[in-house]
């Protein structure tokens, strides 16, 4: 994740605070702060929609797409917090005109946006909710953003839409709305590359799918991934997979292990000769100018390392690969990586098989490599539990946190806040009850 991208989001979100601070004749600073929170929420939600487009510029600004998804998630969470505070702190100010039917509609739009975002955020952060429900409902997040934008445009406020604060936020709303419309496009209408399946081969407890380009090929680098949609397979869902091999003539190979509903179903709905739509390439796991000394692969996590291993030359720095598997029989591409270790003198391979009583630890890594951990760089792809254990252990041996690189392929993750999901539902219920009682009392 690039620091520049984080600074860009923070600075663009903070800028309206200055624009509001210089407004004349404002006595209610608390209400003005609530006004700012509303603007900040809209800007953050616009950024979330922009990041979801997966345009090439996004990785340039924010880093690898797998980390962009994490930033997208946290941007949405912070936007939700801003919305809740904006709703809690009274933003009403006197002296800005009479309420009209248009401003009344804008108020209603704001409430619909609030409740909608609360529900959708609960679904997003509560990982116990099924993936297919999350993906379907997540599309409505942009619609709630547009309702919030309408609320902002027509509500009574201490500045006009032609003032700096109004125009600045409106531009973000417009760009965010355009990004949302782009995100609504069906996958088959998005820019992609056409491939065809030429081979399906079992490998360990996974299958390797080889693809040949039908026309223009993807110009991918070792360590990158694509988003694949298997055309006519009775399933229009697109899914990310690392390239486990990149051929000289544009051939691609992806390796799929049964880890969820989609990957379990996939082997039964694909066939040789079938068309595949590929978006990408994405990811920056391989940095040509910064070669990691130690590679750690857990099971199917071997896939991004395979094409990188193929690029190793005799003059390259020595790389030590730890391949952690349940058993050798279940290890995907085991014979291929063993052959590469024989052909590449700069690649040292260690197979860590659980059924043989082996377990990878920070101590074992330090002992087998003989490296000074303060100067090495580690690349990891595998289960989260193994990653966290090794990160903690290697730090004790002097490894810098910034020198431990990993792929964050968990595009839909919780944040350990199932309790927050319950809190948000309660908050929504209380807000609804409060507004209902206020309406009844006024009536």
Q: Residue 64: count other Cβ atoms within 10 Å of its Cβ.
A: 21
Tokens 């951990």 -> residue: 373
Task: Round to whole Å and give the CA distance between 39 and 169.
Answer: 7
pLDDT score of 416: 47
pLDDT given for residue 431 in this prediction: 59
* pLDDT number for residue 388: 92
pLDDT tens, residue order, the chain (443 aa): 788 999 999 999 999 999 898 888 777 888 889 999 999 999 999 999 999 998 989 999 998 888 898 899 899 889 989 999 998 888 776 666 667 778 788 888 888 888 888 888 777 766 666 666 677 777 888 899 999 999 999 988 888 888 888 999 999 999 999 999 998 887 667 788 999 999 999 999 999 999 999 988 888 888 899 999 988 766 667 888 999 999 988 899 999 998 877 888 888 889 999 999 999 899 887 654 556 689 999 999 999 999 999 988 888 788 999 999 999 999 999 999 999 999 998 899 999 999 999 999 999 998 888 877 888 889 999 988 999 999 999 999 889 888 898 876 655 554 444 455 555 556 556 655 665 565 555 55
Residues 268 and 250: beta-carbon distance below 8 Å: no
Tell me how far CA of residue 443 lies from CA of 108, 110, 437, in angstroms. 17, 22, 10
Query: What does DSSP assign to residue 130?
Result: -
Architecture of domain 3-184: Up-down Bundle (1.20)
**pTM, 2 dp:** 0.80
Q: Which helix (H) or strand (E) holds 45?
A: helix 29-51
DSSP three-state, residue 196: strand
CA gap 428, 19 in Å, rounded: 31
Q: Which residues neighbour 70 within 8 Å (Cβ) at sequence distance 6 or greater? A: 1, 408, 413
Q: Cα–Cα distance between 68 and 79 in angstroms, integer?
A: 16
| Distance separating alpha carbons of residues 223 and 246, to the nearest angstrom | 10
Sheet with 378-381, side-by-side order of all strands:
347-353, 319-325, 294-298, 378-381, 404-406
Output the pLDDT for position 246: 93
Residue with tokens 């624009």: 19
- Determine contact, residues 267/293, Cβ cutoff 8 Å: no
Contact status, residue 275 vs residue 232, Cβ threshold 8 Å: yes
Which DSSP state fits 69? H
CA pair distance 43, 302, nearest whole angstrom: 39
Superfamily designation of domain 189-282: Translation factors (2.40.30.10)
At residue 96, the pLDDT reads: 62
Domain spans, the chain:
3-184, 189-282, 294-406
Which of the following CATH numbers is that of domain 294-406: 3.40.50.80, 3.90.1150.10, 3.30.465.10, 2.60.120.620?
3.40.50.80
Question: H helices then E strands: how many in the chain?
Answer: 14, 11
């Amino acid at each position: 994740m690039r620091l520049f991208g984080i600074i860009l989001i923070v600075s663009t979100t903070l800028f309206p605070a200055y624009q509001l601070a210089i407004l004349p004749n404002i006595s209610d600073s608390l209400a003005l702060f609530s006004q700012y929170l509303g603007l900040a929420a809209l800007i953050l939600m616009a950024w979330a929609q922009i990041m979801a487009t997966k345009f090439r510029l996004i990785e340039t600004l924010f880093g690898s797409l797998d980390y962009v998804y994490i930033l997208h998630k946290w941007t949405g969470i912070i936007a939700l917090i801003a919305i809740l505070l904006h709703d809690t702190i009274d933003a009403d100010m006197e002296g800005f005109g009479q309420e009209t039917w248009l401003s009344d509609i804008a108020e209603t739009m704001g409430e619909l946006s609030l409740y909608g975002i609360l529900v959708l955020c609960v679904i997003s952060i509560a990982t116990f909710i099924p993936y297919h429900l999350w993906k379907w409902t997540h599309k409505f997040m942009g619609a709630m953003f547009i309702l919030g934008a309408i609320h902002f445009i027509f509500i009574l406020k201490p500045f006009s839409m032609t003032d700096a604060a109004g125009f600045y936020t409106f531009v973000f709303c417009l760009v965010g709305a355009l990004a949302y419309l782009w995100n609504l496009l069906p996958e088959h209408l998005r820019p992609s590359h056409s491939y065809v399946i030429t081979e399906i081969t079992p490998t360990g407890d996974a299958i390797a799918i080889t693809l040949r380009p039908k026309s223009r090929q993807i110009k991918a680098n070792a360590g990158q991934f694509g988003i694949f949609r298997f055309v006519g397979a009775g399933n229009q869902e697109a899914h990310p997979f690392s390239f486990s091999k990149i051929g000289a003539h544009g051939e691609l190979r992806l390796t799929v292990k049964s880890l969820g509903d989609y990957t379990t179903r996939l082997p039964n709905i694909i066939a040789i000769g079938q068309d595949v739509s590929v978006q990408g390439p994405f990811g920056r796991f391989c940095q040509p100018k910064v070669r990691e000394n130690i590679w750690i692969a857990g099971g199917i996590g071997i896939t991004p390392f395979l094409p990188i291993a193929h690029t190793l030359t005799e003059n390259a720095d020595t790389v030590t690969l730890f391949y952690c598997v349940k058993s050798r029989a279940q290890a995907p591409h085991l014979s291929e990586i063993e052959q590469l270790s024989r052909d590449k003198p700069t690649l040292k391979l260690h197979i860590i098989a659980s059924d043989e009583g082996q377990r990878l630890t920070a101590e074992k890594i330090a002992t087998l490599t003989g490296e000074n951990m303060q100067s090495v760089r580690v690349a990891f792809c595998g289960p989260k539990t193994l990653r966290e254990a090794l990160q903690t252990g290697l730090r004790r041996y002097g490894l810098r946190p910034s020198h431990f690189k990993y792929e964050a392929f968990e595009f839909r993750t919780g944040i350990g806040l199932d309790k927050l999901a319950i809190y948000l539902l309660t908050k929504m219920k209380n807000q609804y009850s409060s507004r209902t009682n206020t309406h009844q009392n006024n009536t």
